[in-house]
Amino acid sequence: MSENMTIEQAQQQVDHWIKTIGVRYFNELTNMAMLTEEVGELARIIARRYGEQSEKESDKNKDLGDEMADVLWVLICLANQTGVNLTEAFQKNLEKKTQRDKFRHLQNPKLKD
């Protein structure tokens, strides 16, 4: 694996792994439920590590990057099985946000120091 993997390469690698090791994709609804579960695990660690709740002993050794990668994995699975090119989708989304928000955040008094 390359440190500079593109989103497209990640989609291809997940697809290859699923077809050679994972047998097949879980259906879209199962993957959506799994995505929700993985986001919940990530949220729990962030809430306890960076929020006001105390971190449980069992969570102290959890790898935040690994939890984020779990979310990304399932998201890529969903993109692959629904025909979404995440590179194109992300580029379009960034353009949309840039057009919509180019002045909005600069004018937000809550974001000033």
pTM score of the predicted model: 0.88
Would you say residue 105 lies in a domain?
A: no
CATH number for the domain including 52?
1.10.287.1080
Q: What is the pLDDT of residues 53-83, one digit of tens each?
A: 888 888 888 999 999 999 999 999 999 999 9
Would you say residue 72 lies in a domain?
A: yes
Would you say residue 111 lies in a domain?
A: no
Q: What is the mean pLDDT of residues 31-54?
A: 95
Q: Assess contact for 71 and 63: CB atoms under 8 A.
A: no
Would you say residue 34 lies in a domain?
A: yes
pLDDT at res. 1: 53
Would you say residue 104 lies in a domain?
A: no
Confidence grade of residue 25 (pLDDT, cut at 50, 70, 90): very high
